Amino acid sequence: MPGAARGEDPVTRIGALDIAQALGQAPPTPEQQAVIEAPAESLLVVAGAGSGKTETMSARVVWMVANGLVQPQEVLGLTFTRKAAGELAERIGRRLRQLESVGLWREVTGDDGLDLTPAVSTYHAYAGRLVSEHGLRLGYEPGARLLSEASCWQLAQEVVEAYPGPLDAVSIAAGRTVPAVSTVVDAVLSLSGELAEHLCTPDALADHLGRLLSDWDRLPDGEGRKASLKPVLDALGVLRQRQALVPLILDYQRAKRASESLDFADQMSLAARIAGAFPDVGRAERRRYRAVLLDEFQDTSEAQLVLLRRLYAEADDAVPVMAVGDPHQSIYGWRGASSTTLTSFPGHFPGPDGPARTLPLSTSWRNDAAILAVANVVAAPLSAACPVDVAVLTPRPAAGRGQVEAARLDTLEAEAAHIASWLGERLGPWTGPGSAIAAASPPEPRPTAAVLCRKRSQFTLLAETLAAAGLPVEVVGLGGLLSMPEVVDLVSFLHVVDDPSRGDHLMRLLTGPLVRLGPADLAGLHAWARSLGPGGESGQPDQVGLVEAVDRLPPPGWQDPHGRGLGDTGRARLVDLGRRVRRVRELLGATVPEVVGEAERVLGLDLELMAQPGRPVADARVHLEAFADVVTAYAASSERPNLGGLLSWLEVAEDRERGLAAGQVPPVPGAVQLLTVHASKGLEWDLVVVPGLEEGTFPAHDARVAGREDGGWRVPPPKDKAWLSGLDSLPFGLRGDRGGLPHLDWATCPDRQELAARIESFALACGEHAVVEERRLAYVAVTRARHELLLTAPVWATQRTPRITSRLLDEMREAGVAHVSTWAEMPDSRDEDLGNPRLAEQLSLPWPARGAPDPALARAAEAVRAARGHASSASSAESGMTTTPAAQPPARPGVDEPFDEWSDLDREVAVLLAEREASQQRSEVLVALPPHLSTSSLVALADDRDEFAGGLRRPMPAAPATAARRGTAFHTWVEQHYAQAAIIDLSELPGSADETACDAEDLDTMKAHFLESEWSALSPVDIELPVESTVAGISLRGRIDAVFPRQDGGFTVVDWKTGAPPTGRRAEVRRLQLAVYRLAYARLRQVDPALVDGAFYYAATGETVRPDLPDEVALETIVAGLTGG
């Protein structure tokens, strides 16, 4: 059907209800129908949580195509993640195929071979295309490289470390602490990103700060106490430090230009500049697209708003734009999003008669009734203050009642125990793969569950308590991962290896299970460090650090004049630690993943974890493996990766989760996922727990609790100095969304006394603004629950005063929407003997730990001694030598005596040879499969079942994977070819499983082969798509390299390989990977698997291989046979 002329609104031939009936779908609600059939003009759709916005958006496109308003290729859809873009594109494509099959639409195929499918991509990918096509007009090469977060960090760090400027002197003169290098790097990146997001320049920032400082310096003090001027003096110091950062920001921008690189913020800012400077770009885009759909509009930045407005609204031939979002879910302000973009949409994208219309979607298809009642209570103040109408959420037809429970417990420990009990009652014992009682048949469907924390500091106690209760726990996100004890030990060791000044990290090792140094030996080591300094025993400030003191230990028997020294056992343990550190330092020339892998092996962390009684072997290394993935991702995305850069990046990533915030881990039935509320957006679970609902934690602010005269407790109004504190904030006056932020009127101040008073008022206004942001976060948290929700708060935490229950929880309880199961009483503030019971309990532990070993560990140690003795005897017999008992190693080298590196290596080799001989005689290795397998693990299982089982039973460090690094480099280049930036989460890195990869010098050859292949000219609908699907009761995870649309409406899943095509059994086994990908993609996109095929592309030879793939039934049979299902 030909499209209608622009500006015309033809008589509707078919309605949304008719289309739904013809396609066999449920009829849309009246609200959905109003959105779907809205006139062809700009429209704001306020879609509440779980209200079916993706379904409505796709139905809108189908309705417009069916009625001749647009052709499919004239539709542009933008969203934030490739996953969301792929889901929207697939849903639209599937509906259009159905529409054609029932005769309601006929695809118009042109002779020019144009792609007649809707263009659906991410906001950044769309901006990247504009920059690639038109950036040269602003002096930017079209092939400019997109920097990853890790690469940005490394480049900024190099700029900061090379800067000769006066930042230290400025800080000292201003009475401020000289910031650490990592703090300055983070500030440079944050300010550079904010400037780009708000279309501002470093020069404009310098001018603004210079004018502000000049005016404030000239103000008289005014009448009053000098102490009351402290807010002004503090702000002046902060702003002078920030002014000193402007040259660093300029240097960072010049470094990017010199390397022909851009970051994500640059990409969006340049696209907005192009749209404003060259009107022909907008005309071309408006001719290309006649309808634009914008998803998750509440998360857009000012630069994105300006770009889209310039392209599609600021012209006589404006294009209808439909923005969909929820102002209550605008929670990413700290990441560049502006809370005002959605509410200002009607004015920026007007209709023919004024501001754009607003329509609601308020039926929740996710949450039961009780959950929605809580959500509406939390959202009520937000809705009342919102400039656009936001409807109250209503339950879907036949929705369940649901359950919401509120509890206040005496202490943090009691809160964690209550959570574990509540979840345990609903989840029951874990019986999935990898459990001690794995079922012979597929288990019954079990609920999904999550604990959503406001702060990552809550993770450790909760994870330990849940694990002690027998519940499998998955910590999601880098910040949580870095709090796990084994990862903390590993990172501390790496700091000691990299930087001799990091005595803080050395102390964890000295007092931990690795060294177990006692107080006397710690004092002796400190005395030795003092004696090594220039001042000798006087202990001058430039004394030698503890790390260097371990490298240069005193001779046996040394004591200082006060009698402090090292005992023989303590010194032996320090000798052992020093040798371990030196062993890893010798490998610093290797790749970062190899250095980290060697550090893990030297520490023996994997063996320690697997030796823990009652812990499934398959689960023992889960956090270490996740950390290894993070390290590999850093190395792959960084230009010049090194250990120091990794550790510096991790310190900031722990706080900001830089580069990983967009990653999502799908819910795991029967397990408990532990993550932050920010990371939960876009996900949902059957059971959700929100702990820590107390003032200061949720909502987060500086809650200084004080008593009241009536025996109650109070907290002062929250304060937030915003851009008047820290180094990394852009003054509100330079932000494009300043109209929605608190205002500090400093230009009319007569003196500093008045300015100080206005600063105090500004801090209070910002504090209230921050609480509103926290309310939005709470709304997101509670709407993640499908059926049951638990809300908890402690009375006593780590402070000396009790914690006041969150205003958010009090509102829910007072509204009667939450059932109170237990509610601990608050103590009387007038009680003179009042104290925190947690602090009153004296926790006594022996130091160093001398607990009796577990009997199972003792038996295991004896078995290792016996194996070593057998191996040594066998080796000696073959060589004609004899072995004496004195030659046998101790059960745990480095604890009772230091080990010699070469003799220890000889013993290890002997044990490994004995193990290999024993493994060749073994007929079967019995281990429990983990609850998840990667596709590469499935291939390994099919290739050699016994070797795979042995690897599960005792994982060993992998050999240096140069082929994997080349595979990763090729995958990264292909992504750049398609102009899409990968978001690598905690899963398999692309290319890491490639075999027989070519030599490094052949990378150019692989690129040339690819450019000559059929794939280079095609446009993929998905790139680096993480998938997970259950086959024969086993959850299989993987990452699809690329998916291409077929002319018949189907899809081709392609896996890039950098080696040559395998033959024989290896080729037969390899096709399993592609078969799993095909089935997982078909399930993800809800299409018939017959519409999906697969291909391997081998870049070394330029060949494309399309193997015959087993269908779903055959694949189930194969996997069941491999896994014993």
Task: Give yes or no for residue 1000 having a pLDDT over 50.
Answer: no
* Predicted local confidence at residue 376, as pLDDT: 96
Q: For all residues of the chain together, what is the average pLDDT?
A: 81
Per-residue pLDDT at 993 exceeds 60 = no
Q: What is the pLDDT of residue 80?
A: 85
554 and 528 Cβ atoms separated by less than 8 Å? yes
**pLDDT at site 742:** 94
Least confident residue range of 21-30, 147-156, 377-386, 844-853: 844-853
- Cα 503 to its chain centre, rounded Å, is 29
Total number of residues shown for the chain: 1125
Of the listed ranges 369-373, 379-383, 485-489, 878-882, the least confidently predicted one is 878-882
Q: Give residue 823's pLDDT.
A: 96
Residue 1016 has pLDDT above 60, yes or no: yes
- pLDDT tens readout for residues 439-480: 444 456 789 999 999 998 899 899 999 989 989 888 877 656
882-914 pLDDT, tens digit per residue, is 333 333 333 333 334 444 445 555 666 666 666
Say if residues 517 and 693 touch (Cβ distance below 8 Å). no
Q: What is the 3-state secondary structure (H, E, C) of 851-920?
A: CCCCHHHHHHHHHHHHHHHHHHHHHHHHHCCCCCHHHCCCCCCCCCCCCCHHHHHHHHHHHHHHHHHHHH
pLDDT at 979: 53
In this predicted model, what pLDDT tens digit does every residue of 2-13 receive, in sequence order? 344 334 444 557
Q: Which of 442-446, 502-506, 778-782, 982-986 has the highest mean pLDDT?
A: 778-782
| pLDDT interval class at 204 (50, 70, 90) | very high
What single-letter DSSP state applies at residue 175? Answer: T
The CA-atom distances, in angstroms, between 365 and each of 423, 485, 684, 869 are: 24, 40, 12, 65
Per-residue pLDDT band for 552 (boundaries 50, 70, 90) equals confident
Tens of pLDDT along 287-331?
999 999 999 999 899 999 999 999 999 888 889 999 999 999 988
The two tokens of residue 182 are 């990592």
Q: Across 124-128, 177-181, 208-212, 508-512, which has the greatest mean pLDDT?
A: 208-212
| pLDDT for res 1124 | 64
User: How far, in Å, CA of 73 to CA of 81, rounded?
Assistant: 21
Band (671; pLDDT cuts 50, 70, 90): confident
pLDDT tens-place string over residues 402-428: 999 999 999 999 999 999 999 999 987
User: Over the stretch 1034-1044, which tens digit does the pLDDT of each residue have?
Assistant: 778 888 989 99
Provide mean pLDDT across the span 541-566: 82
Residue 181, pLDDT score: 84
SS3 265: helix
The residue-averaged pLDDT of 270-284 equals 95
User: Which pLDDT does position 386 carry in this prediction?
Assistant: 92
The predicted pLDDT at position 761 comes to: 96
Q: What is the dihedral of CA 988, 991, 995, 1000, to 10 degrees?
A: -140
The per-residue pLDDT for 950 is 57
Task: Look at phi and psi of residue 462 and say left if phi exceeds 0, alpha if psi is from -120 to 50, else beta.
Answer: alpha
pLDDT at 90: 82
pLDDT of residue 783: 96
Give the residue-averaged pLDDT of 755-782.
95
Q: What are phi and psi of 1035, to 5 degrees?
A: -85, 120
Overall average pLDDT of the 1013-1035 stretch: 82
The annotated binding site is made up of 47-54
Kindly tell me if the per-residue pLDDT of 948 is higher than 90: no
Residue 235 pLDDT > 70: yes
What does the pLDDT average to over 709-725? Answer: 92
The pLDDT of residue 878 is above 60 = no
* Residues above pLDDT 70, as percent of the chain: 79
Higher pLDDT, 213 or 667: 213
Min mean pLDDT across 65-69, 498-502, 576-580, 799-803 is at 498-502
On whether the CB atoms of residues 765 and 230 are closer than 8 A, the answer is no
pLDDT band at 44 (very low <50, low <70, confident <90, very high): very high
Residue 664 has a pLDDT of 45
Contact 871, 906 (CB under 8 A): no
Cα diameter, the chain: 100
pLDDT of residue 112 exceeding 50 = no
Confidence (pTM): 0.74
Binding site per annotation, positions for ATP:
47-54
What's the confidence (pLDDT) of residue 360? 95
- Of 654 and 789, the structure prediction assigns the larger pLDDT to 789
**pLDDT number for residue 1125:** 53
